């Protein structure tokens, strides 16, 4: 196979890779919420969680929003909401500790923010409930 044909085949897989990006990122994101809510996959270091607190609301958003993104249901509005949540988390918690995300512990918040922002514009990809409902 020539390099040109290989790159053309790879480029043609962009819609499916968009779905893979959404699915894998949502799975990783959900663990932030399930850690806070259920102590899974690791114990929550913040002590007892009150659901009506800001961190409790974040845990619910991360778990339920992540689950919706995982299956690709209501992808655009949920991704936009979660991008906002991650922006708030970054500027409220991490940015006061310093400018650079790698130094202030906010690297994942920034990356999630921009992935969710991208998905809010790009949509879920073909492997999603949203795509099934459009047919």
DSSP string, 17-43: HHHHHHHHHHHHHHHHHHHHHH--SS-
For residue 47, the model assigns a pLDDT of 80
Mean pLDDT by 10 residues, the chain (135 residues): 77 96 98 95 88 96 98 98 98 97 98 98 98 94
For residue 1, the model assigns a pLDDT of 59
Model-level pTM? 0.92
Q: How many CB atoms lie within 10 A of CB 23?
A: 18
| Beta-sheet strands, E only, within 1-135 | none
Cβ(122)–Cβ(114) below 8 Å: no
Task: Give, for 122, the enclosing helix (H) or strand (E).
Answer: helix 107-122
For residue 85, the model assigns a pLDDT of 98
Residue 61 to residue 82: CA distance in whole angstroms: 7
């Amino acid at each position: 196979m020539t390099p040109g044909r290989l790159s053309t085949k790879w480029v043609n897989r962009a819609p499916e890779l968009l779905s893979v990006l959404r699915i894998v990122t949502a799975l990783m994101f959900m663990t932030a919420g399930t850690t806070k809510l259920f102590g899974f996959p690791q114990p929550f270091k913040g002590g007892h969680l009150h659901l009506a607190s800001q961190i409790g609301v974040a845990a619910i958003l991360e778990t339920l929003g992540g689950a919706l993104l995982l299956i690709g249901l209501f992808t655009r509005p949920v991704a936009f909401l979660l991008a906002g949540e991650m922006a708030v988390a970054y500027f409220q918690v991490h940015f006061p500790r310093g400018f650079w995300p790698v130094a202030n512990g906010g690297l994942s918040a920034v990356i999630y923010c921009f992935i969710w922002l991208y998905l809010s514009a790009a949509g879920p990809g073909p492997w999603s409930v949203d795509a099934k409902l459009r047919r």
